[in-house]
Amino acid sequence: MTIEYIRSLIEVFESSSLTELHLNDEGQEITLKREKEIQVLSAPVHSAPPAPQPIPAAGDAAPFTQEADTIIIPSPIVGTFYRTPAPDSPPFVEVGDTVKAGDALCIIEAMKMMNRLEAEFPCEIVAIHANHGDLVEYDGALIEVRRI
């Protein structure tokens, strides 16, 4: 079985909707597998639930669970991302912190309203994907956490 053969096989496989392919051709064996959706942690492709209207208390936004061991909390609205409650305050959370359900994670400012985003469950902060002051998009990655 040449590299070219395998390449073609993969092409055919990829242009199909299969998630697994096994071939045994007179003793030569090959197995191809893939996830239905590619998991990209830094840019989630799953749809979060539609942003409720009017903008809810940020804590209402259900972060979606991924099959990997970390979870990305996406932005439920478009707005400006703030890590601190006020210009001179320390950040709500830092990487490595652990928080309990209901603890504040960040603020998203939209329409001159400060929307506090809270943790829905106890977790460890793994990464912060937006910069203080950034515009965050709908469903944009904010904070990556590990459930504890």
Q: Which is nearer to another protein, 71 or 130 (CB)?
A: 130
Interface with its own copies (CB under 8 A), residue from 17, 27, 36, 86? 27
Among 19, 95, 137, 147, binds another protein (CB under 8 A): 137
CA angle, corner 119, sides to 118 and 125, nearest 5? 120
Instruction: Provide, rounded to whole angstroms, the least separation between the CB of residue 92 and another protein.
Output: 20
Under the binding rule (CB under 8 A), the answer on residue 11 touching another protein is no
**Residue 138 interacting entry, from its own copies, another protein, none, C-beta within 5 to 8 Å by type:** another protein
User: Which of 86, 16, 21, 76 shows the shortest CA–CA distance to 51?
Assistant: 76
Buried b / exposed e over 83-99, threshold 16 CB at 10 Å, is beeeeeeebbbeeeeeb
| Residue 114 touches which of its own copies, another protein, none (Cβ within 5-8 Å per kind) | none
Using CB under 8 A as the binding criterion, the count of chain residues that bind another protein stands at: 20
CB of 13 vs its own copies, minimal distance in Å: 9
Partner touching 53 among its own copies, another protein, none, CB below 5 to 8 Å by kind = another protein
Q: Which of 38, 102, 94 is nearest to 66 (CA)?
A: 38
Structure tokens belonging to residue 66: 């991924």
Buried b (16+ CB within 10 A) or exposed e, 36-64: eeeeeeeebeeebeeeeeebeebbebebe
Q: Are 97 and 105 in contact (CB under 8 A)?
A: no
Using the minimum distance from each CB to another protein, give the nearer residue, 36 or 112: 112
Binding footprint of another protein on the chain (CB under 8 A): 47-48, 50-51, 53-55, 77-80, 110-112, 135-140
